[in-house]
A and B are shown apart, each in its own frame.
Chain A
Amino acid sequence: GDSVTQMEGPVTLSEEAFLTINCTYTATGYPSLFWYVQYPGEGLQLLLKATKADDKGSNKGFEATYRKETTSFHLEKGSVQVSDSAVYFCALRYLGGSQGNLIFGKGTKLSVKP
């Protein structure tokens, strides 16, 4: 079945370090891809999205490129801040069908130390 696999956490980085969180997907169709973030004590928020191959989603210094050839959507940020500490979820969603639900990876917890 369709699924999303993302790197296991937790990931601990120092402030200003480079961040990569790997995400790969398995899908029978052509999904849209998303990164959601959950800050401590808060609900899930959309961070960025890409709806077709080679699209790059970006927000708050984070970027991810939809790579159809490698079925990947890795999240990157050039210089993380303490305030980026959160759980990050990669997700996919289909272009067609009646569902429209998101299929999530298991989440990667990021801790950024000052």
Chain B
Amino acid sequence: GAGVSQSPSNKVTEKGKDVELRCDPISGHTALYWYRQSLGQGLEFLIYFQGNSAPDKSGLPSDRFSAERTGGSVSTLTIQRTQQEDSAVYLCASSSVGGSTDTQYFGPGTRLTVL
């Protein structure tokens, strides 16, 4: 595809429900990142994948958050038992190899609202 795509673009859920957010990176990109953008916290790093492995999960805010990547392509971020403080825009980015000078290309984001 031409760029990073994310789905859904908007998600409204009730407190306590589980949600799944999907990211389709640019074809051939081995590195994939999840970030969260919220009013209070700005842009926060959540997790990084190199291929299907996640060497760095340090940014996940709690054990309710998990992510996986299969086939070195699509990634899913799952939030269990959602809380109101999880409301944010969740951004996915990919880069070709994950090097420090690599450009990260961002998707349009999924806006999550927890009622």
Contact = CB atoms under 8 A, between A and B. Distances in A.
A43 B42 contact: no
Interface residues of B, number: 26
A89 interface: yes
Nearest to B45: A101
B100 A94 contact: yes
Q: Which among A44, A94, A107 has the highest number of chain B CB atoms within 10 Å? A: A44
A40 interface: no
A93 interface: yes
Interface in A55-113: 89, 91, 93-96, 98-107
B100 A98 contact: no
B101 interface: yes
Contacts of A105: 42
Interface of B: 31, 33, 35, 42-43, 45, 48, 50, 55-56, 59, 91, 93, 95, 98-109
Contact of B106 (A43, A95, A103): A43
Interface of A: 31-32, 36, 42-46, 49, 51, 89, 91, 93-96, 98-107
B104 A89 contact: no
Contacts of B109: 43
Contacts of B99: 100
Given A46-B105, A101-B45, A107-B42, 18 more contacts: A42-B108, A43-B91, A43-B109, A51-B101, A93-B100, A94-B100, A95-B101, A98-B50, A98-B56, A99-B48, A99-B55, A100-B100, A100-B102, A101-B33, A101-B35, A101-B56, A101-B59, A103-B45
A49 B101 CA distance: 9
Contacts of B107: 43
Given A99-B56, A105-B42, A107-B42, A43 B108 contact: yes
Contacts of A43: 91, 106-109
